[in-house]
Amino acid sequence: MNLESIKAVQQLLSQPQKIVIVPHKNPDGDAVGSTLALYHYLINRGQEAVVVAPNDYPKFLKWMPGNENILNFEKQNSQAKEKIAEATVVFTLDFNHLGRIGQMQSVLEDLTVPFVMIDHHQAPSDYAEIMYSDVSMTSTCEMVYNFIEFLGDVDKITSEMADCLYTGIMTDTGSFKFRSTTGRTHRVVADLIDKGAENTQIHHRVYDTNTPGRLHLLGCALKNMVIIDKYRTAYITLSQEELDTYEYQKGDTEGFVNYGLTLEGIIFAVIFIENKEEGIIKISFRSIGEFSVNEFARAYFEGGGHDNAAGGKSDRSLKETALYFESLLENYQDQLQA
């Protein structure tokens, strides 16, 4: 974050503000963790603040301190709209295009108040007056830690904030193993533990809350996996019918895509999940090494994200999407073939 932006934030926060903090749609651990940590920080500074999430998120994220105060734009629509209408500042966290917030997009686009973006995705759009955008960062949570440090307030990080920030760094780094993880990341995490983050508990709450249905769905996903050795690629499909059979609940497929990458030699893993209600196939892409799934998702599946983790969607049927996907691989022979 440059000095000018830090000064601009300091100027904003020197006055009492009504602040709305927004994560992306289908918020993940980093989105919920970063917005709640910032929420606690701003409240503790005496500001009025509220987190408005575009929609619901999985149960394994609902234990975080402050969770009960998050407004769900879909379920608490009039209350959420009221807060947005009163806002004097909007913070947007863990996304950089207003298209990532679903139905909230049109409501936020109409606002004339200053926006502050804190985000680590590629190619930010220009809706925010104040931008802290850094694609080298593991997570928005690590950036919120830095943000608080820029404002000279690291000593004001409470154990609640530490729990939230630890969660997002943990989930966005695959438990501290992805390429983006640095010595600095570990120093931040170490400091969060010193400040009271319950690291063992957090892993347990996020990762050890499977239902039998979810494990059976995982079994189904693994059985469906197609391995294309030639292009070092593995993909999974899950139909709506399969999801229904195993009583799919939001968040159940989180992390499934990564199993492809645990196969020796595989560098590109994908999962296609049918969503009959929205009439789309939701796609997650993961890679190891140089192959950019961000570019791949952008080029063919109306998506994006990071070099090694991205998402997108398709309007074709599940079967046609998989076939289309397979037909694209030869365009990338030079990168995918061993």
Of the candidate spans 128-136, 156-164, 198-206, 309-317, the one that interacts with ligand 5GP by CB under 6 A turns out to be 309-317
Among 101, 312, 322, 329, binds ligand 5GP (CB under 6 A): 312
Of the candidate spans 4-12, 90-98, 280-288, 296-304, the one that interacts with Mn ion by CB under 5 A turns out to be 90-98
Contact call for residue 172 and Mn ion (CB under 5 A): yes
Contact call for residue 27 and ligand 5GP (CB under 6 A): no
Residue 94 or 274 having the CB closest to Mn ion: 94
The crossing angle, in degrees rounded to 10, of helices 140-150 and 3-13 is 80
Query: Which one of Mn ion, ligand 5GP, none is in contact with 311 (Cβ closer than 5 to 8 A by kind)?
Result: ligand 5GP
In whole angstroms, how close is the CB of 306 to Mn ion at the nearest point?
8
Query: Which one of ligand 5GP, Mn ion, none is in contact with 34 (Cβ closer than 5 to 8 A by kind)?
Result: none
Among 188, 303, 325, 336, binds ligand 5GP (CB under 6 A): 303
Among 40, 138, 311, 314, binds ligand 5GP (CB under 6 A): 311
> Between 107 and 136, how does the x/- string for binding to ligand 5GP read (CB under 6 A)?
--------------x---------------
Contact call for residue 22 and ligand 5GP (CB under 6 A): no
Residue number of the CB closest to ligand 5GP reads 311
Residue 171 or 253 having the CB closest to Mn ion: 171
Query: Which one of ligand 5GP, Mn ion, none is in contact with 309 (Cβ closer than 5 to 8 A by kind)?
Result: ligand 5GP
Of the candidate spans 88-96, 211-219, 259-267, 314-322, the one that interacts with Mn ion by CB under 5 A turns out to be 88-96
Say how far apart CA 258 and CA 287 lie, in whole Å.
Answer: 9
3-state secondary structure the chain: CCHHHHHHHHHHHCCCCEEEEECCCCCCHHHHHHHHHHHHHHHHCCCEEEEEECCCCCHHHCCCCCHHHCEECCCCHHHHHHHHHHCCEEEEECCCCHHHHCCHHHHHHCCCCCEEEEECCCCCCCCCCEEEECCCCCCHHHHHHHHHHHCCCHHHCCHHHHHHHHHHHHHHCCCCCCCCCCHHHHHHHHHHHHCCCCHHHHHHHHHCCCCHHHHHHHHHHHHHCEEEHHHCEEEEEECHHHHHHCCCCCCCCCCHHHHHHHCCCCCEEEEEEEECCCCEEEEEEEECCCCCHHHHHHHHCCCEECCCEEEEEECCCHHHHHHHHHHHHHHHHHHHCC
Residue number of the CB closest to Mn ion reads 30
Interface residues toward Mn ion, by CB under 5 A: 30, 94, 139-140, 172
Interface residues toward ligand 5GP, by CB under 6 A: 121, 284, 303-306, 309-313
